[in-house]
Structure 1
Amino acid sequence: MSSAEEQNSDTGSDSSSVFDLKCLGGAAAAYAELRGIHRPGRNPPVDLPCLTGRQWVELNLRDRRRCFDNFRMYPDTFLQLHDMLVSKHGLKTSQGVESVEALAMFVWVCATQQACCQIRERFDRSLDTVSRKMAHVANVMYSFAQEVIAPKDPAYSKVNHKLTQYAPFFDGCIGALDGTHIPVLVGRESCVDFLNRKGWTSFNVLAICDMDMRFTYVGAGMAGSCHDMAVLRDCMAARTYPHPPAGRYYLVDSGYAVREGYLGPYRNTRYHLEEFSRRAADTLEEKFNFHHSSLRNVVERAFGVLKFRWHILREVPLYS
């Protein structure tokens, strides 16, 4: 190699080293900005006070928009729920954690799908305290559910006004019944039992809704591999199950057996919207199935609203 080439090589090496150092310096500066590390001579930002869990709850309850974003309900609704749980269902203050903070902890987790470590950091509580308070509020909410998830009119004395336009085909309809799968984490030995037909582990949850999208019954706890009809039979044995009275019935899909009180569509008859709208001369069975599907969809819409509001139903966060 000639002396000129050696000189050019040394110069190139020095330039490359300077370039690398500049890149590293720029990366370090960007990292320092993100981490809040400031170079000498610059005024550091004013530190905000560290809020306790109880203070954070109070901050949310003073701001309607913020309260709804974190708790999926407005402050007046949250406080009304809290008072009802305290007076009727045993929500208590214990070991330095007030009842309003415990409820906020539980609702925040359900609304935004948080894990235990995130609850610990947000509320500045130990994992043991988090575990105990979450279990306590879950039991309280289960008691509350037994009271509020029920038919508005247990006697079903009249049919919903929304069915008037479908008379006389659905005069005896008092709601719709369907199931959904909620993701769940299980041990390896239970994986096969909870594996649903889509290939992931879940609970097969059954629900009944009236025509106003109000849940009148929810039956949870069956493994995802269980057939919908098996889940229904198990729920029908429960004391709280609202059996349809004589002359009334629930709308169900073709996956459920035909029996008194449960009206399914005509089998082997199409009813999809695009097929229905293309044909002018539809049979009575096809028209019935089309309207049956539209009305039964109230359960799917209710499930959609529920999962949109309570993100924990979409996917179970990881817990140790």
Structure 2
Amino acid sequence: MDETILSTVTTTVASVLAVGLVILKDIRSRRVLRREPHVNREYERGIYMDSILYGSRQDCIDQIRMSHVSFFELCKILAENNLIRETIHMSIKEQVLIFLHIIGHNVRFRVVGGRFYRSIRSIHRYFKVVLGGALTLYKHLIKQPDNSTPLKIRNSRRFYPYFKDCVGAIDGTHIRASVPVEIQGRFRGRKDQTTQNVLAGITFDVKFTYVLAGWEGSAHDSRVLNDALTRPGGFKIPEGKYYLGDAGYGNRNGILSPYRGVRYHLKEFSDHPPENEKELFNLRHSSLRTTIERGFGILKRRFRVLDAEPFWSFETQMEVVLACCVIHNHIMGVDPNDSIMEEAVCDVESQNQSGRVYQTRREVQEENREWTIKRDVICHAMWDDYKNRKNV
């Protein structure tokens, strides 16, 4: 009987050991299968950055929305002004690359973190650092125009001497906004989406001279302009000069608007030349003012974040708009003829399909009499010269 019990115990122990060996072998095999492949993150990150910064010009523009020369010059300016510092964890080049990826393509921090082998926390931290640096450059890159007559006007018989005191154009554009539900009604303008109304002044070489972001999409353009003109450090117009505005602003000190109820948009004159002095004035006014639409078109094409629903706080949304305008001016000063500039053909007519803009009686009364007379003087002189040339 003892021999039977011993045999049974021996058999049981052998079975347990066999099962244990099988389980151990299975666990070991699983460990081998579950082990992730080794990735040299620093090496892969360097290869990716070099492919952008030292590859073809067009690939660089496609990836970071600017050429090599614009990128390295931007890094230099940020470093020399002590706005961005290289850390033991990240170079200045990588910080700026990350920022440009995000605003250029509207990608999430998680996506960029995966591409650069960085944590979301790191991406967010350095995004804010570069954003702050770009905002500091606002006063250096977005400047008031000087008192000289722009080349576009001076070199054209159509515009000179009639618009010799004009320094640029102003207008508002709507940028997608994400705001709390309780205030979304104020941010719904002409479109169903929530937007912020951004006012900008621009010169005829497509550089921004002033940008005001943050107004609700439902706010009227003239209300936004009033705020810009009255706030401390706001929109300044050189003495004796003026900007071209659309009919919504009306004639006021420093703003010259077209005649209302008269043909204005360029497509209306394609087959029918101007028949009177007001139509001629509106045609040339419109030809010059397309610069502001072109500027907005270039800005939104270059920085896709401006044309998509944002995923950060509203304060950051306003700051991003300003930073994009700052970087745009930087590019215009360093490399103004890149492919994005060439491709950004703005359809001005899409902004207002109706050919005429009418105003209420109150708006007529509020127009500045002095600037209405100034517009009439320009209009008469332009029409007289136009008729004389036709008769020659």
Shorter-chain TM-score: which interval? 0.7 to 0.9
2:105 is aligned to 112
TM-score, length-scaled by structure 2: 0.64
Per-residue deviation, 1:278: 4.0
SS of the residue corresponding to residue 238 of structure 2 reads coil
2:118 is aligned to 125
User: Is residue 2:301 matched to residue 1:311?
Assistant: no
2:253 is aligned to 260
Number of aligned residue pairs: give it: 271
2:150 is aligned to 160
8 Å CA contact 1:89–1:144 kept in 2: the answer is no
| Cα separation, partners in 2 of 1:214 and 1:282, compared to 1, 3 Å | same
User: Is residue 2:185 matched to residue 1:185?
Assistant: no
Unaligned runs of 5+ in 2: 1-37, 314-392
1:291 is aligned to 284
2:165 is aligned to 172
Per-residue deviation, 1:245: 2.6
Task: Please tell me the residue identity of whatever aligns with 1:159.
Answer: T
Unaligned runs of 5+ in 1: 1-46
2:72 is aligned to 79
1:59 is aligned to 51
Q: Distance in 1 between matches of 2:142 and 2:161?
A: 29
2:94 is aligned to 101
| Cα separation, partners in 2 of 1:260 and 1:89, compared to 1, 3 Å | farther
SS of the residue corresponding to residue 258 of structure 1 reads coil
Percent of residue pairs identical: 34
Q: Distance in 2 between matches of 1:135 and 1:263?
A: 39
Compute the RMSD of aligned alpha carbons: 2.3
Task: Please tell me the residue identity of whatever aligns with 1:168.
Answer: P
User: Is residue 2:206 matched to residue 1:213?
Assistant: yes
Q: Distance in 2 between matches of 1:252 and 1:113?
A: 31
Per-residue deviation, 1:237: 3.2
TM-score, length-scaled by structure 1: 0.78
Task: Please tell me the residue identity of whatever aligns with 1:162.
Answer: K
1:15 is aligned to none
8 Å CA contact 1:244–1:261 kept in 2: the answer is yes
| Cα separation, partners in 2 of 1:319 and 1:205, compared to 1, 3 Å | closer
Q: Which runs of 4+ in 1 moved over 6 A?
A: none
- Segment of structure 1 superposing worse, 230-239 or 200-209: 230-239
Q: Distance in 1 between matches of 2:231 and 2:81?
A: 23
Q: Distance in 2 between matches of 1:98 and 1:273?
A: 49
More RCO (CA 8 Å, sep 6+): 2
SS of the residue corresponding to residue 205 of structure 1 reads strand
8 Å CA contact 2:187–2:194 kept in 1: the answer is yes
| Cα separation, partners in 2 of 1:281 and 1:209, compared to 1, 3 Å | closer
Higher Cα Rg: structure 1 or 2?
2
8 Å CA contact 1:114–1:317 kept in 2: the answer is no
Alignment deviations for residues 45-96 of structure 1 (CA, whole Å, 9 cap, x no partner): xx99765444422331111333222112222321111011011151123461
Task: Please tell me the residue identity of whatever aligns with 1:118.
Answer: V
Q: 1:249 aligns with which of 242, 255, 270?
A: 242
